[in-house]
Structures are given as C-alpha cells and as structure tokens.
Amino acid sequence: KDFDSHVSHELKAPLASMRETIQLMLDQVPGPLTDKQKRLLELNLQSEYRLTSMVRNLLDLSRIEAGVMEYEMRGQDLVPLVRNAIAEIEVQAGEKQIQLLTAFPEGPVMVECDASRIVQVIVNLAGNAVKFSPKRGTVHVHVEAARSLPPGVPRRWRPLPGAVAKDGCFGLVTVSDLGPGIPDSEKEKVFDRFHQVKRDKKIAGQGVGLGLAISRTIVEAHRGAIWVEDNPGGGCRFFLLLRPGEVRDDERTYTAV
Ligand code: ADP
C-alpha cells in the first residue's frame, strides 16, 4: 500500500499535469499552433497515454501481488460499461482510421461486477484490437445475454461461472479484429504476465504484456471467463463472460444474484 501511494504521488500526478498542459496547448489557449507543432504535441499526448497506462498496469500488478486488489461488486447493466470503454479508445481508433462497429441488445444485460474494473478489461481488449489491426481496419464489439455457457469456453474456466439461475443470463462481450491473430499454441499464454507473441516487426504502441494478465486476474475475481478464439474472417476474437446480476424489487437497486 505504501508503494501504491508513493507511485501514485510521484508518477501519476506529474503525468496528469503533463497531460493537462499538452491539452491546453492543443486547444491553443496560450496561442495558435502550426500544423507541425500540433502533430508533435499529439504524438506527445499519445506517449503520455501509453506511459500512464503502463504505470496503471504496474500498480495493479503490485496490488495483485500484495493481495490488496479491491472490488466493489454490484449488479450492473453491461451495455453502458461497454459504451464507456469504447469512448475511451475512440481517439486511438481515429488515429488509425479504424471503424469501431458495435451491436447491443435492446434491453439491459445485468451482470455482477465491479464497473470500473470491467471497463478496464474491455478497454484492454478493444485497445489491443485497435493496436493490432491494420490501418483503416474494422473492430467489432458485441454485447449479448447468453442463456448458457458458450461452446468455446476453455475447460479451465468452466467451473468458475457455473450454471445460470433459472431466468438469469450471462453477459457476453466479444471483441473481434482483422489483425495478425494469435496462434493456437499461444492462445492461453497471452494471458500470462509479460508474454507477447513474437512477430517480425514491432507493433506501434505495444506495451509490456501485462494488460491481459491483469484482465485475467480481474475476471477470475468475478468468477467469469476470458478467452480468445480465431475470428472466422481472420484475426482474433476475444470473449468476456460475466455472471448474471439482478434488480432487487424492494429498493430498485441492483444486487448480485
Ligand atoms: P501488450 O499488448 O501491452 O503487449 P497484453 O497483455 O494486452 O499486453 O497482450 C499480450 C500479447 O497478446 C500482445 O503483446 C500480443 O502479442 C497478443 N495480443 C493481444 N491482443 C491481440 C490481438 N487483438 N491481436 C493479436 N495479438 C494480440
């Protein structure tokens, strides 16, 4: 916890102030910018985002190792959480002219989760899909309510979500891309710490291989499931499955099943 507050103070605060300064300049508050200056500042801002996300991942890793990762579980509608996550990666997608296509069911999809941690997992999956997609590619994000466990859930995950209550449904998010895909031999390993698939050339914006490992820990704490399959059209498709949550009639607040 000491490490946590130290890092937060010494690294996160100056990073946030750098971000604000760059943003002020990009908004041309101190004065007008040439196109070249604007481009350089945009690159600077992207590096700041990457650094912030790396610091966040390292902090999470230290929390996991110290066993002090905390979750606030509540019944939540998955749809707005996915919308929030997509809003977070829109700039990154725009930079590569990637189209983010979404499909949501009409009604809510109630799940039991810690909202901000689940947004973090979806940002990780959708951010990776954008990162590994070719320029001008397409990334699909779908949300659905599943009555039973989907057929592809790997064996290691099957006992965690268990069976659904009579009238409950699992929440299922799928993120598909048309990138290089992940070979079968690495489909489990990519969820290990620091594991990255070796490729001929370095992918711009690649981190240190912590995002999926943290996502897996978060999903385990939710007794859900996270896995990857080949996308039928090329590339890969990540799945996130969450247990159902429900609305309590007496208080109209959401509680977990
Ligand atoms: P990072 O992306 O920072 O390296 P992650 O833990 O999020 O860390 O991902 C680990 C590795 O899994 C990536 O380095 C990459 O090799 C592989 N990977 C993840 N998502 C995708 C994807 N959508 N397409 C291809 N490879 C992926």
Q: 3-state secondary structure string, 10-74?
A: HHHHHHHHHHHHHHHHHCCCCCCCCHHHHHHHHHHHHHHHHHHHHHHHHHHHHHHHHCCCCCCCE
What pLDDT score was predicted for residue 257? 38
pLDDT tens per residue across span 93-148: 998 999 999 999 999 999 999 999 999 999 999 999 999 999 999 999 999 999 88
What pLDDT score was predicted for residue 248? 46
pLDDT tens per residue across span 1-14: 677 777 777 888 88
Q: How far apart are CA 229 and CA 181, in angstroms?
A: 9
182 lines ligand 1 (CB under 6 A): yes
178 lines ligand 1 (CB under 6 A): no
Probe ligand 1: pick from 49, 60, 128, 176, max atoms within 8 Å of CB? 128
Give residue 72 CA to ligand 1 midpoint distance, Å. 27
127 lines ligand 1 (CB under 6 A): no
What pLDDT score was predicted for residue 119? 97
Ligand 1, residue 180: give the atom nearest the CA.
25
Give residue 188 CA to ligand 1 midpoint distance, Å. 12
DSSP label at residue 11 = I
Tell me the mean pLDDT in the region 212-240.
95
Q: Six-digit token pair at 213?
A: 């490992």
206 lines ligand 1 (CB under 6 A): yes
